[in-house]
Amino acid sequence: MRPESFKFLENYLNNPSPTGFEKEGQKLWLEYIKPYIDSYFVDTYGTVVGVINPDAKYKVVIEAHADEISYFVNYITKEGYLYLRRNGGSDALVAPSKRVNIFGEKGIVKGIFGWPAIHVRKIEQDKAPTIETIFLDCGASSADEVAELGIHVGSVVTFEDEFTVLNDKYYVGRALDNRVGGFMVAEVARMLKENKKTLPFGLYIVNAVQEEIGLRGAEMIAHRINPDVAIITDVTHDSQSPMYEKKTAGDISCGKGPVITYGPAVQNNLRDLIINTAKETDIPFQRAAATRATGTDTDAFAYSGSGVASALISLPLKYMHTTVETVHKDDVQNVINLIYETVLRIEDGQDFRYFS
């Protein structure tokens, strides 16, 4: 990866962008992509769209989502401890002993997820942490002191953990789900510009908000753009580490390439174009099957308007919704390459219908 891209990836991942509060991360993303697009727009809730050939009638979307899971302060005790509600699929099990950033009226306040010492617990009666039992300590000894810090009910909380590289092969951190996707579609835009590729259609590079609570940003922006084609990238579960059951999770591995999904929301002809592109360009890939839905923004685009030819290219990821989400360097580059090469093979006005 070129040094400038790596620096952006690091800064972008380290910047908190909790669901519903993605603004600062979206500003970073937009600033990075501006040199590679012709125009852009931002919608009411913060989804950012960079556009190449904005006047073209035929519209192709490449999309990722920008938001990360987080918490809301829900209750403040008279002793100054904070109890929470989830904002997205936050996992209480990984919270105890973690450091956090609390976004208050006066700026960021540092906090910690406290937990009783092993010495004072009856270990044989231990139960897994739940949203009802985890709590935050921000160093205050009363509710009034919490208020003086600028913390209130509704303040957003994110983990403090930052980006690292593991064994020179893996990128590790919180919020790779799915800001690494935003990075990848931005890199596609950069490659198109630097390689002086001219597209016969309008390309909309979308970084959508609020995926983690129900694909909401994608729903809104799909109606606004009204595209003809949408290629979505998100993460999917690597199933090689302990405690995964391949019979249900599939056999997906970090380092073996992008994952191409089969499912009702995935348009077969577009999917086959992606697979053929991978074969023609020697990009390794894996296959996965969805059930009723992919659970990604693919579903929002596919079923928007009168129907949009949509497909999903996923990045294998270990330890989803933890502070140590892990992806392989090669997979990141191969997802970028596969989206790039596929975009170059889409024709202006291409009809993806099964028959006519």
**What positions carry a catalytic annotation?**
211
User: Residue 91: what are its φ and ψ, rounded to 5°?
Assistant: -105, 110
Q: Does 65 carry a binding-site annotation?
A: yes
Half-sphere exposure of 205 (CA within 13 A, CB side): 32
Q: Residue for token digits 């931002």? A: 42
Of 226, 303, 216, 214, the C-alpha closest to 266 is 303
What six digits make up the tokens of 140?
């205050």
Amino acid residing at 100: V
Establish whether 177 is an annotated binding residue: yes
Phi, psi of 205 (to 5 degrees): -95, 110
Pairwise CA distance, residues 287 & 277, whole Å? 14
List phi, psi (to 5°) of 177: -85, 95
- Using alpha carbons, select from 280, 292, 299, 284 the residue that is nearest to residue 334: 284
**Residue 152 assigned as binding residue:** no
DSSP assignment of 47-88 equals -EEEEESTT-SSEEEEEEE--B-EEEEEEE-TTSEEEEEEES
119 is in an annotated binding site: no
Strand 59-65 and strand 229-237: pairing? parallel
Paired with 316 in beta bridges are 236
282 is in an annotated binding site: no
Nearest to 58, CA basis, from 356, 346, 353: 346
What is each CA distance from 261 to 196, 219, 232, in whole angstroms? 30, 20, 11
The token pair at 278 is 């991978």
For residue 106, give both structure tokens. Answer: 């006066």
Q: How long, in residues, is the chain?
A: 356
Six token digits for residue 349? 């006005």
Binding positions are 65, 177, 212, 234, 321
Binding positions for Zn(2+) are 65, 177, 212, 234, 321
